[in-house]
Structure 1
Amino acid sequence: MAIVPLVALPAVRCEAFGAGCRAPLPGIQAHAAAHDGGRPLSPAEAATRGSYVALGDSYSAGVGAEATLADSNPLSGCHRTSKAYYHTVAKTFRFAGGSSFWACSGATTADVRKGRYGEPSQLNRVDGNTSLVTISVGGNDIGFSKIMAGCVVKLPWSKGCEKQGGEIADRMAGLRESLPELVAQITARAPRARVIMMGYPRPFSEISANRGDNLTLDDQRWLNGRARDLNELIRQTVTEADQHLAAVHAQGSVEFVDAYSAFSGHEAGSSDPYMNGLSLDLGALAAEPRSYHPTVKGQEALAKLFVDQINRGPGRTLNQFA
């Protein structure tokens, strides 16, 4: 993986396929810093006055949206792809400090802090020059892939769906502690940043069963419910963090992107899916990582949510000035 150092900016990773990072615009950061105290910045201006850093797990890395040979044969276990929503966000706006892509497949809240697959900490990629952070995280903390497997694999010794409830509750309790800690660390390192955290899309239809994935309609509804529970935990964490920033008149914000219904009518198993269904590695008798991850169209739908949120803002006045 090529690392391109930028003076006075966080480390930036450039993808081998040439779409990974974008250089800062010369002189804009210094100009913005020199003119604090004027008119309030618009939400988009506040987000783009510095650098954009994309963090998170496989939903942010773009697993399941492979479109090139490099996507299908990644150089890193983090499996960042060319159709991840990061690329649309980075192309839609002009970030004064450039942009970088650090999301990593399989990342938990601990991995965001410490690094994964030999890569350094994602958290350390944000700093005082960062004006926008996008992130999805939490699904791996509660073991969503294991939950899914427990529903799909119906063997005599399998727990099935609902019998996993106790283990899920324990993991949710752990996330209720680790996620606020991570958000606080991000906002401390990047005090001017708008931190936009995404919830997870509903994977299945609520009205028709996807028989090809060995799931009943009740299974699908139960799994959707667990995604809804996770999203609510993330939403509460975001709300509490942003209320704290507003109370102390901080410059930054923490915002939630509600993606739960983003794939409505396009769930796994539909005629035009935005979510991949079950893909089996027959040699290993295991589900492939792309299973139940967004397709290219799914990543496009998520990108639109982020672009809209960047333009819309946190729903309160930002304490940033031009």
Structure 2
Amino acid sequence: MVRIVAAVAAGVTLAVACVPSGVLPKLACAVLDASCPTGQSQRGSLPQVTRLTAVQVAQGGMYVALGDSYSSGEGVWDLDNKPLNDGADRCHRATGSYVPLVERAYRFGGGTAFYACSGATTAQILSGQYGQKPQITRVGPATSLVTLSIGGNDAGFTKVLTACIVKLPWSSACVEQDAAVSRRIDELRPSLLKVLRELRTRAPNARIIVLGYPRPFPKDPEVTVDNLSAEDQNWINGMTRRLNDAVGSVVSDFDRAIAAFGAPGSAEYVDAYEAFTGHEVGRPQPYLNGLNVNVEELKVNARSYHPTGDGYRRFAELITKQIAAGPGRPMNNFHVSAP
């Protein structure tokens, strides 16, 4: 009786891990010490089951790039003169983003779909912007890799920066936003989880890679930049860290759940907080655009505080390395070959 229960338990475990039921007779023979034929059976050889590597999983289907301005290429949009696809002009999708670089680094069996949109929130990933189809609808069963940057607009970082920059030099209006920003970051967690669940529903076998945000100012700022004092810069750095930690914890918890059930696919977080170290705003060769104002129109250019071309190339390095490294655990995606 104990052996029968053990066999059943082992069968359930294999089923959850997506192992074909064709291997179960062989397993039962081993566990129950039954007298089973070896080698060729009357029906021929059993199919071969191979666990896929992280790279094989990523390359097996379509690469879909979603997210906000840090993925769309806002920082280099006004330098672009090549239309990408429908809605690129509204969403500021640029060829200078990291997405085309990742596309060139790997050969994706189903091609690439690039639909990140500047200004996107977690809710707009699901509902759409500017009359365009929701980004989430670009993901389907054939999707094998999703990259995503999201959360900055939920936290209201654009408005936060604006309030910090336009304040009077001696004002504390920047750091006084702490409670409001912290609340919005806490509220981001359930909405990000909703996005991850929808991605899994649509593409249950895919790897989902979520990219964090870089620290915008030096670790120990010493000079005022764009009307931002050292105290202001430290506070903005701290809020960026808090946002990244919130996003990273949601993604990590989600992947642990995937692994616990032995399910295929993954959710992976890339912490970009230190990625621009030595190249922050105010440095000689920044990877982030500083404040850019059209003096004639008295209008701030949208590329302000978004990655430069070098910044997007650095993002591409992070993503391509993550694709190669995988989630830090075995993938539960399998290839079944005919006997």
Please give the TM-score of this superposition, normalised by the length of structure 1.
0.84
Give unpaired runs (5+ residues) of structure 2: 1-46
Shift of 1:216: 1.0
- Do residues 108 (structure 1) and 121 (structure 2) align? yes
Q: CA RMSD in A?
A: 2.0
* Number of aligned residue pairs: 286
Structure 2 match to 1:43? 54
Q: Which moved more, 1:240-249 or 1:308-317?
A: 240-249
Letter in 2 for 1:304: E
1:224 to 232, 237, 245: 237
1:247 to 242, 260, 270: 260
- Do residues 299 (structure 1) and 323 (structure 2) align? no
Given the superposition, is the C-alpha separation of residues 156 and 202 from structure 1 closer, same or farther in structure 2, using an over 3 Å criterion?
closer
Is the 1:210–1:268 Cα contact (8 Å) retained in structure 2? no
- Do residues 62 (structure 1) and 84 (structure 2) align? no
Letter in 2 for 1:220: Q
User: Which is helix-richer, 1 or 2?
Assistant: 2
Shift of 1:119: 0.9
- Do residues 233 (structure 1) and 227 (structure 2) align? no
**Deviation readout 1:156-200 (Å, 9 max, x if unpaired):** 997621111121122112211111111111111110000000110
Structure of larger gyration radius = 2
Is the 2:221–2:234 Cα contact (8 Å) retained in structure 1? no
Please give the TM-score of this superposition, normalised by the length of structure 2.
0.80
**Matches of residues 124-143 of structure 1 in structure 2 within 5 Å?**
124-143=137-156
Given the superposition, is the C-alpha separation of residues 158 and 167 from structure 1 closer, same or farther in structure 2, using an over 3 Å criterion?
farther
Given the superposition, is the C-alpha separation of residues 37 and 236 from structure 1 closer, same or farther in structure 2, using an over 3 Å criterion?
farther
**Deviation readout 1:84-104 (Å, 9 max, x if unpaired):** 000011111111111110000
In 2, Cα distance between equivalents of 1:292 and 1:184: 30
**Matches of residues 25-104 of structure 1 in structure 2 within 5 Å?**
38-66=49-77, 67-70=79-82, 76-104=89-117
3-state SS, counterpart of residue 208 of structure 2: strand
In 1, Cα distance between equivalents of 2:48 and 2:242: 42
**Matches of residues 201-220 of structure 1 in structure 2 within 5 Å?**
201-209=214-222, 211-220=224-233
**Matches of residues 270-285 of structure 1 in structure 2 within 5 Å?**
270-285=283-298
1:146 to 155, 159, 173: 159
In 1, Cα distance between equivalents of 2:227 and 2:96: 29
Is the 1:54–1:103 Cα contact (8 Å) retained in structure 2? yes
Is the 2:186–2:246 Cα contact (8 Å) retained in structure 1? no
3-state SS, counterpart of residue 210 of structure 2: strand
Letter in 2 for 1:192: N
Given the superposition, is the C-alpha separation of residues 170 and 157 from structure 1 closer, same or farther in structure 2, using an over 3 Å criterion?
farther
The percent of aligned pairs where both chains have the same amino acid is 45
Letter in 2 for 1:237: V
Given the superposition, is the C-alpha separation of residues 153 and 48 from structure 1 closer, same or farther in structure 2, using an over 3 Å criterion?
same
In 2, Cα distance between equivalents of 1:75 and 1:41: 34
Given the superposition, is the C-alpha separation of residues 146 and 158 from structure 1 closer, same or farther in structure 2, using an over 3 Å criterion?
farther
Give unpaired runs (5+ residues) of structure 1: 1-35
In 1, Cα distance between equivalents of 2:284 and 2:53: 40
Structure 2 match to 1:261? 274
